[in-house]
Amino acid sequence: MPTRPMPREQVPARDLADPAPSPRRLLVSLPALNEAQTIGDVLRRIPTEILGISSIDVLVVDDGSTDETASIARDAGAHVLHHPSPQGVGSAFHTALAYSIDHGFDFLVTIDSDGQFDPADIPALVAPVVADEADFSTASRFKDPSLVPSMPWLKKWGNRMMSRLISSLTRQKFYDVSCGMRCYSRRAALRLHLIGRFTYTQEVFLNLTFKKMRIVEVPIQIRGERAFGSSRVASNLFHYAIRTSQIILRSYRDYHPLRFFGAAALGLTALSAMLAAFFLLHYLRTGAFSPHLWAGFSAATLLVLAFLALHIGLIGDILNRHRIYLEEILYYQRRSRGDKS
């Protein structure tokens, strides 16, 4: 005789209960180059408990320090990875990102070791990512006007111009694209494919917006200047602007080749049209081509260059489709590598 199913209210509670949530691990990573004066204090103030996080590990990427940075970090309980010589904050991030993926962490937080950021703000930073309201969150110095830090006007102006550039390229509004205090979900970390080694902060926005990742800015009070020493990345603002612009343009070219070369083709066509109009008007007035034959030849040359630029953009668009497929394969390969750790 078949057994009658138990009414739902009589089923034991353990059978109706939701499965136990899986552990959610956070890695806090700090790049460091000769930060012996500040790194110990920063490490000691990193929270040991955060709502929604089961465990917190700390990683210091020692970028070729010659002082006691590494030993102080180890004494404070951090795991230390060492670069034999300074390679830049971008390379330090690549190292932290690979470590996070390989060891299966669910979230990655980056924070500087120079004391400009308050580790007590980490819970507020990770909250939208832990709640699955965003794939990537970044501290913002300029979103809330009341929290804008005191810093040289040139740096403040440069940051705002960079944010406007990235906003125009991504067609989203961002206030601060250069801040190094950030939180990445595992999904965002697996999707990141960066080329820059000098820096990485602006390229992350281009990379993740192209892949439709959800990005939020968290207004946080940040010290505008280092307590000791000077910035290793932006110590020379002109050099920083040139290197960063190269990374941004290369990244935008790779992800939006048709827009990039299409804009160049449009500009060349416009110049060609202006020169051709000048040449034609001169001919209609005088009935002669000289002495402005140069304008006709220049218009024709620019038009040919415009067609070449458009052709390169079309080829780049085809190659970009292959890149998307390859990055999708790499995403699953990375994910399986971390799941086996």
User: Beta strand pairing status for 107-110 and 79-83?
Assistant: unpaired
Q: Quick one: which of 218, 210, 202, 222 has its CA closest to 162? A: 202
Last residue of a domain, one of 221, 255, 289: 255
- 54 and 131 part of one domain: yes
Q: Name the amino acid, one letter, at 286.
A: T
Same domain for 53 and 194?
Answer: yes
CA distances from 258 to 264, 271, 314 (A): 10, 20, 6
User: Do 268 and 198 belong to one domain?
Assistant: no
Whether residue 88 sits in one domain with residue 230: yes
Instruction: Please state, in angstroms and rounded to a whole number, the distance separating the CA atoms of residues 204 and 253.
Output: 15
Domain boundary among 255, 282, 316: 255
Domain membership of residue 263 (yes or no) is yes
Distances (CA, A) of 237 to 109, 153, 155, 175, 284: 26, 12, 8, 19, 52
Q: Alpha helix locations (H) across 5-140?
A: 13-16, 39-44, 69-75, 89-102, 122-130
Side-chain half-sphere CA neighbours of 198 within 13 A? 14
Partners of 60 in the β-ladder: 30, 80
Statement to judge: residues 251 and 261 lie in one domain: no
Query: What is the chain's pLDDT, residue by residue, as a tens digit (341 residues)?
Result: 444 443 433 433 333 344 445 789 999 999 999 999 999 999 999 999 999 999 999 999 999 999 999 999 999 999 999 999 999 899 999 999 999 999 999 999 999 999 999 999 999 999 999 999 999 999 999 999 998 888 888 888 889 999 999 999 999 999 999 999 999 999 999 999 888 777 889 999 999 999 999 999 999 988 756 555 555 555 566 777 888 888 888 888 988 999 999 999 999 999 999 999 999 999 899 988 888 899 999 999 999 999 999 999 999 999 988 888 888 888 888 777 656 55
Same domain membership, residue 208 and residue 281: no
* 144, 292: one domain: no
Structural domain of 291: 257-339
Alpha-carbon gap, residue 245 to 141, rounded angstroms:
21
Nearest Cα neighbor of 320 from 238, 231, 258 is 258
184 shares a domain with 77: yes
147, 64 contact by CB (below 8 A): no
* pTM score: 0.78
Pick the last residue of a domain from 212, 228, 255: 255
Q: Tell me whether residue 14 is in a domain.
A: no
| Number of domains comprising the chain | 2
